[in-house]
Amino acid sequence: GQERPTTLCYEALNNSCPRNVHSTGIKLAIYIVCSAGMLLIVVGNLLVIISISHFKILHNPTHCLLLSLALADLLLGLTVLPPSISRSVEGCWYFGNHFCRLHTFLDTVFCLVSILHLCFIAVDRYWAICFPLEYHTKFTNREACMYIGVAWCLPVGYTSVFLYTNVVEGGLTHLLLDMPCVGSCQLLFNKLWGWLNCPMFFLPCIIMITLYMKIFIVANRQAREIKAMNIRAGSSVPTGASKTEWKAAKTLGIAMGVYLLCWLPFTIDTMVDSLLNFVTPALLFDIFIWFAYLNSACNPLIYAFSYRWFRKAMITIITCRVFDARSASLDLYRE
């Protein structure tokens, strides 16, 4: 299981990148682990997409956001991860410069789409918990579609400027004299890539944390008020957000926390590494990347443990009862 001496990605080229050659057993283990992760991402998010699309009771603004988030995670699993698996195993990029740029584009877009969706979901939960009487008029399907449009268009436009125009790369040529070696997927401006993405990552994080702090403060106050009213009246007094809304807020708060745990190591490393001339060992950097990727598998798992409706939907889909025309009208919330 020991690594062999360093060789080159392209033996015939002087400017080829070096690579670590693993034994067949280690290669096979990496392929199996990474492929299992990819399969978990694809299957889990496909179940979320089918559930929300098929069952009419789930056709509401919150679930529209969840559907769009699952679509971003599914596309990441289908388009970004297969080449990433090859790069992790072989230690080299064998797909050319044009596909390297496309791969970086898709990778960055899906990451930013995910965090913007989580940010807008936090806004949705904020309205549901803090302003329950106004929620259904303030957050409709129209508003949800607007949020989804922004969550997709902003990352696509932002990333396109850096990857498909000369705005950044042309201005950095004189700063970065060491050109990437052949066999890597390191674009010219990658030394500043972590810092370029810093505002797009941390600003939504700050907004989400602020909103969830407000949600939990308001929810706790509402719980105390309900308890006090029940004691005085001797009966249940419906006030504030419902138990369902509160549980949804807690579940999506967990999803946000998991997202931060998965992405923070990679995000911080790319920022610090660019200042230290990329000193992070290749194996450790790969672990950070895959830890971030596997966040896309976490949301379906969180829903499965937290939501009865998702568990019932999964069972209906897996047992093929979803093909019954009447299944679309199934009440997934009924005990």
Domain boundaries of the chain, sorted by first residue: 7-329
pLDDT value of residue 69:
94
For residues 100, 102, 103, 106, the Cα torsion angle rounded to the nearest 10 degrees is: 160
Average model confidence (pLDDT) across the chain: 82
pLDDT of residue 276: 74
Is the predicted pLDDT of residue 1 greater than 50, yes or no? no
Please check the confidence at residue 234 and state whether its pLDDT lies above 70.
Answer: no
Per-residue model confidence (pLDDT) at position 27? 86
Query: Among 31-35, 38-42, 306-310, which stretch is predicted with the lowest mean pLDDT?
Result: 306-310
Residue 224: count other Cβ atoms within 10 Å of its Cβ.
10
Mean pLDDT over 66-88 rounds to: 94
pLDDT(60) > 70: yes
Q: Regarding predicted confidence, which is higher, 252 or 237?
A: 252
Is residue 169 over pLDDT 60?
Answer: no
- By residue count, the chain amounts to 335
- Picking from 105, 263, 76, 130, the residue whose alpha carbon sits closest to that of residue 185 is 105
Percentage of the chain surpassing pLDDT 70? 85
Could you confirm whether domain 7-329 is CATH 3.40.50.970? no
The Cα 148–Cα 141 span in angstroms is 10
Q: What is the pLDDT averaged over residues 9-35?
A: 83
pLDDT average, residue stretch 130-145: 87
* Pairing mode, strands 7-8 and 18-19: antiparallel
Higher pLDDT, 211 or 2: 211
Q: What are phi and psi of 10, to 5 degrees?
A: -125, 100
Query: Residue 76: its pLDDT value, please?
Result: 95
* pLDDT value, residue 120: 92
Confidence of residue 177 (pLDDT cuts 50, 70, 90): very low
Higher pLDDT, 141 or 277: 141
Beta bridge partners of 249: none
pLDDT at 256 over 60: yes
Contact (CB, 8 A) for 91 and 3: no
Lowest-pLDDT choice from 70-84, 151-165, 217-231: 217-231
What is d(CA 331, CA 319) in angstroms, rounded to the nearest whole number?
17
Looking at the predicted structure, is the pLDDT value of residue 275 above 50? yes
Q: Give me the DSSP letters along 243-306.
A: HHHHHHHHHHHHHHHHHHHHHHHHHHHHHHHHHTTS-S-HHHHHHHHHHHHTHHHHHHHHHHHH
Structure tokens at 238: 């419906």
Q: Indicate the pLDDT class of residue 192, thresholds 50, 70 and 90.
A: low
Q: What is the pLDDT of residue 109?
A: 93
CA distances from 301 to 4, 42, 201, 319, 322 (A): 38, 12, 23, 19, 21
Q: Give the model's pLDDT for residue 191.
A: 60
Average pLDDT over residues 168-176: 53
Average pLDDT for 45-71: 93
Residue 283 has pLDDT above 90, yes or no: no
pTM of the full predicted structure? Answer: 0.86
Confidence of residue 278 (pLDDT cuts 50, 70, 90): low
- DSSP letter at 331 equals -
Question: Do residues 158 and 112 make contact, with C-beta atoms less than 8 angstroms apart?
Answer: yes
Q: To the nearest whole percent, how much of the chain has pLDDT over 90?
A: 27
**96 vs 2 pLDDT, higher one:** 96
Q: What is the pLDDT at residue 287?
A: 87
- Report the alpha-carbon distance of residue 36 to residue 131 in Å, rounded: 42
Helices assigned H by DSSP within the chain: 24-54, 61-75, 81-90, 96-130, 132-138, 141-164, 169-172, 190-233, 243-275, 282-293, 295-306, 308-318
pLDDT, position 4: 47
Q: Give the residue from 242, 335, 330, 298 showing the smallest Cα distance to 55.
A: 330
Give the pLDDT confidence score for residue 87 in this predicted structure.
Answer: 87
